[in-house]
Chain A
Amino acid sequence: MTGEIIAFAEQREGALKKSAREVVTTAAKLGKELGAGVVAVAFAEGAVEGAGGLGRCGATEVLLAQGNGSAACARALADLARERQARAVLLPASAAGKDIAPRVAALLEVPQASDCVRLSAAAGSIEAVRPVYGGKALWTVKSRASCFLATLRPNVFPADESLGAALEPVRLPAPAGTPATLATLKEVLAPQGGRRIEVTEADVIVAGGRGMKGPEHFALLERLAEALGGTVGASRAAVDAGWRPHAEQIGQTGKTVAPTLYVACGISGAIQHLAGMSSSRVIVAINKDPEAPIFKVADYGVVGDVLEVVPALTEEVKKAKAAG
């Protein structure tokens, strides 16, 4: 069987994102089952730090391509997928990946499985598991086309750097022809509240809800997040009250996150909130109501007033970190 697996290796400002290793590792595991090579592609004008290291995650080729904007990247990926008769094209379910993948689906006429949490190959065919209905159910899907296109939920698929050796990246020539009328990126404004780790990229999230009682108390969460090396998130109630920016909202109408540690502070655990965070690895809940639904998904629960528990927790974390 011919055909390779194309893995989109996301970079920002010349540095690979963590998702690149996750996507390439997942592609390599599928490739092993299917006997397919893995072509990792990063889009950048200049060098990408660590790109060659994707060979360690199982890439058999690392390409550096040019693509200005999602439409151009999609076209380049689709062209490459055709040229290589790709069995699969994998991207992260990040802002960029979610913006590129459907355009690839349209160009290649293949279906896309969005935000997958598991991928496997058996008997020559790829299956994906993905949450639907806001995480209230899981779908197992496969493609009836010869190619499978999927975006992978960040932080869910492990990266493994022992699957191969570093490679020398190969630069692809700039695409020929003039692009169609496109959207032009004019500028990038700093996010509301300054530049910080995005919730979708954070390893630790300390999220606050209506139980925080007011915007001023989120400083407590900032301090705990800082001690844990994480970032602050919020429930919709906290966002709708104007306490926190939309970019921090977690849940069905906000971001979907899967950090290693999620600390829910004064959040009741409504089904639409759980939709965005229930695939976190470890969940801690702090709530004064012992009956709050958040305790049903929490690994560790503390019943109490967030305004008292959070500062105490911050002190203990600092002590533990200092002790090493």
Chain B
Amino acid sequence: MNLVACVKRVPDTASPVRPGRDGRSIDLGGVSFVLNPYDEYAVEECLRLKEARGGQVTVLSAGGPDASKELRHCLAMGADRAVLVKDAALDRDARSTAALLAAALQRIPFDLLFFGRQAVDHDNAQVGLIVATLLGLPAVAEVSKVDVGTGAVTVRREAEGGIEVHEVPLPCVLTAQKGLNEPRYASLKGIMKAKKMQIEEMEVAAPDALLEVLRLEPPPPRPPGKMVGEGAAAAPTLVKLLRDEAKVL
């Protein structure tokens, strides 16, 4: 089975976020980067499927040279092949990123194509479904369980109102939700092996971004709150405030 996971390098969620000097992107001072947490679930699922059924795992990222660090992390986890689509554009929106990846994927065979639910930088939650639509493939987003059958997969997806069970013919696109699996740590042996592996580079053409970012600002601070009191004795005052002041009861 050919398994492919698209992965993105993103700021660690604990990193500070401040507007940069251009007023549109973040100040990179003090920001550390990691593999997007949802993409970790995607890579882990590919590795598990390979271990259970055989095949090859390819990880694919579009970005600058720095992204090779996250690709190498995936190799250390156990991926067989890493491809970096060289991209110098700073303002890619989800649609143009998806077009870039879709073009690269014309050259990479796959049965199952995985994405993360969303990249935790711009929180778009779009790229996987756009790629699927551009490639004309069936897709299920935010899957929390995957069972591979012959020529099709059965997946679970949590929706409002219940857990949906979908059957999807291969090849198809899935996006990984938390709960899909517990990603492994890279072993020391894996890390040593990954150091020696080659990261393939690819160049493809893609349309320009169509979403223009006008401003990036810190969120407005919430007005200071009230400390109502201590312990169970505070309950009557709290209810009074919720009813008369906040008017939410």
Chain A residues near B (Cβ < 8 Å): 12, 71, 74, 94-96, 98-99, 101-103, 105-107, 109-115, 127, 130-145, 180-192, 195, 198, 200-201, 204, 228, 246-247, 249, 252-254, 260-261, 271-272, 275, 278, 281-285, 290, 295-305, 308-309, 311-313, 315-317, 319-321
Contact = CB atoms under 8 A, between A and B. Distances in A.
Contacts of B37: 253
B169 interface: yes
Interface in B163-207: 163-169, 172, 177-179
Given A112-B95, A135-B219, A106 B121 contact: no
Chain A binding surface, main DSSP class: mixed
A96 B160 contact: yes
B158 A246 contact: yes
Chain B binding surface, main DSSP class: mixed
Name the residue in A99, A201, A261, A281 with the highest tally of chain B Cβ atoms < 10 Å from its Cβ. A99
Interface string B63-98: 000000000000000000000000000000111001
Given A134-B120, A141-B212, 13 more contacts: A12-B160, A12-B161, A74-B133, A111-B93, A111-B95, A130-B123, A132-B121, A135-B219, A140-B215, A183-B167, A192-B163, A301-B225, A301-B228
Interface stretch (B49-57, B103-111, B136-144): B136-144
Given A133-B17, A188-B163, A246-B144, A260 B248 contact: yes
Interface string B113-157: 000000011111111111011101011111010000000001110
A137 B228 contact: no
Interface in B211-249: 211-219, 222-223, 225-236, 238-239, 241-243, 246, 248-249
Given A99-B141, A114-B123, A186-B165, A141 B160 contact: no
Contacts of A311: 232
Interface of B: 11, 13-14, 17, 19, 26, 37-38, 93-95, 98, 120-130, 132-134, 136, 138-142, 144, 154-156, 158-169, 172, 177-179, 209-219, 222-223, 225-236, 238-239, 241-243, 246, 248-249
A145 B13 CA distance: 31
B216 A105 contact: no
